[in-house]
Amino acid sequence: MSNTDRQYDLVVWGATGVAGRLVAEHLTAQYTPETLEFALGGRNENRLRELEADLIAQSEAWEELPVVIGDATEPDSLREIAHSTRVVCTTVGPYTTYGTGLVEACIDAGTDYCDLTGEVNWIREIVDRYHDEAVEAGSRIVHSCGFDSIPADLATLLVQSYAASEFDVPCELVRLYLEDGEGGVSGGTAASIATVFEAASTDPLARQALSNPYSLAPPGERSGVDPGEQRLPRYDPLCSAWTAPSPMAPMNERVIRRSNALLGYPWGREFRCSEVVPTTSGPLGLVSAGAIAGGLGLGTMALSVGPIRSTLQQFAFPDPGEGPTRAEIENGHFTVRALGRGTATDGPFVLRAEISADRDPGYGATAQMLGEAAMCLVFEETDSPLSGGILTPASGIGLPLADRLRDVGLTVTVGERSRPTE
Ligand SMILES: NC(=O)c1ccc[n+]([C@@H]2O[C@H](COP(=O)([O-])OP(=O)(O)OC[C@H]3O[C@@H](n4cnc5c(N)ncnc54)[C@H](OP(=O)(O)O)[C@@H]3O)[C@@H](O)[C@H]2O)c1
């Protein structure tokens, strides 16, 4: 069966979870049965039918939604899902625990795939085991299509594409600023964070993936000039403020370096990127940056210790299936700004891109990002030169994703520092 003869355009697997439900809501609100053949996927038919009833009650356009059953522990069921659809979008995590079977099934079926993983150790394993097979099968496996790592990866692509078209040279540095953000954490995300720390404590390859800034680059290309994520407060002349380490830097920076590598190094082999949290320019800015760095360091230390990690999971973190309230999702927001510094023949330039949303970054806005990344794959709206492989949002989809995100209400701008354009 060719990829175009499938029963569905898209299956959302994990639709009964916190993020999956929001993705399904986003799709039923934005699209109609005339424009999208999509099915709800999960392991429990009753829960899927309840979700179907809720979605139909909220929607004027949808009168029924097919459900497909697949359990991560039953490879045949994953093969059936992968063969039933052109694209699978999965929110079944932790991906280290549940994700590999579906990737394998999608490659086997030549099906496109996108997910929400922020688990560097797992992506590295998938890259090493499956990249060549996915290229051969023409299967686009696009990881990290949520708050990790679309804003950072796409903002970098926007800045670099602008630099190429206006100045004919790439930026040698792109720095990402997690400027403001308010949102919650779900049990699924907490479990995934714990899984990464667990892997780092037991598996030397996972430790390597987390310590090498180039660990997601192709094998043989895993070194370079970039020193990796910032760990201490630092004054940043580019944004004229003190900055602290960003909790998402270990993930987002590696994804951006993989984008550059997969695209054939259009931003140069000397390209550097970093993600930070900016504070202010004066002594108070230093104090705030110090407090953020200290808090992050303490959190990392605590999660690295097995018994503390288990205790936090048992008593402090939400359980799988629990997440932010509707009010928290609707009142949340985030802004990620990118500044790119380059040198043209007539002197230096600084570019700026911004991606922001007025919803909780990890759930409300993530559902929009994952849903629209999936739609880019469904409708072949990509400007990527890559027709298969283990890909990133920038390398596997590219700028058409920016247009789709604008269409669903996110702010996405790019321009020279003083005059941003749509
Ligand atoms: N990158 C980002 O910005 C971002 C944002 C949000 C979430 N995430 C990631 O997305 C993942 C999901 O998060 P979440 O909060 O939605 O988690 P969740 O609420 O716990 O949902 C997990 C989903 O996986 C399903 N599931 C669990 N075990 C399964 C199995 N053996 N076979 C098939 N399905 C199974 C659950 O089904 P049941 O309902 O039947 O239990 C549920 O639908 C996590 O890895 C999280 O880190 C990433």
**Which residues touch 360 (CB under 8 Å, ≥6 apart)?**
182, 183, 184, 324, 328, 329, 330, 331, 332, 333
Boundaries of every domain in the chain: 3-147+365-404, 150-359+409-421
Closest CA to 93 of 123, 66, 133, 50: 123
Angle of the 366-378 helix axis to the 18-30 helix axis, nearest 10: 60
For residue 390 and ligand 1, the question of a CB distance below 6 A is answered with no
Is residue 111 within 8 Å of 9, Cβ to Cβ? no
**What topology does CATH give the domain 3-147+365-404?**
Rossmann fold (3.40.50)
CB atoms within 10 A of CB 223: 10
For residue 95 and ligand 1, the question of a CB distance below 6 A is answered with yes
Smallest CA separation from ligand 1 atom 46, residue? 189
Phi, psi (degrees; rounded to nearest 5) at 235: -80, 135
CA atoms within 13 A of residue 354's CA, in its CB half-sphere:
17
Tens of pLDDT along the chain (422 residues)?
467 789 999 999 999 999 999 999 999 999 999 999 999 999 999 999 999 999 999 998 999 999 999 999 999 999 999 999 999 999 999 999 999 999 999 999 999 999 999 999 999 999 999 999 999 999 999 999 999 999 999 999 999 999 999 999 999 999 999 998 999 999 999 999 999 999 999 999 999 999 999 999 999 999 999 999 999 999 999 999 999 999 999 999 999 999 999 999 999 999 999 999 999 999 999 999 999 999 999 999 999 999 999 999 999 999 999 999 999 999 999 999 999 999 999 999 999 999 999 999 999 999 999 999 999 999 999 999 999 999 999 999 999 999 999 999 999 999 998 655 55
Between CA 78 and CA 98 the distance in angstroms is 11
Which residue reads 């895993």 in tokens?
222
Between CA 143 and CA 251 the distance in angstroms is 11
For residue 14 and ligand 1, the question of a CB distance below 6 A is answered with yes
For residue 186 and ligand 1, the question of a CB distance below 6 A is answered with yes
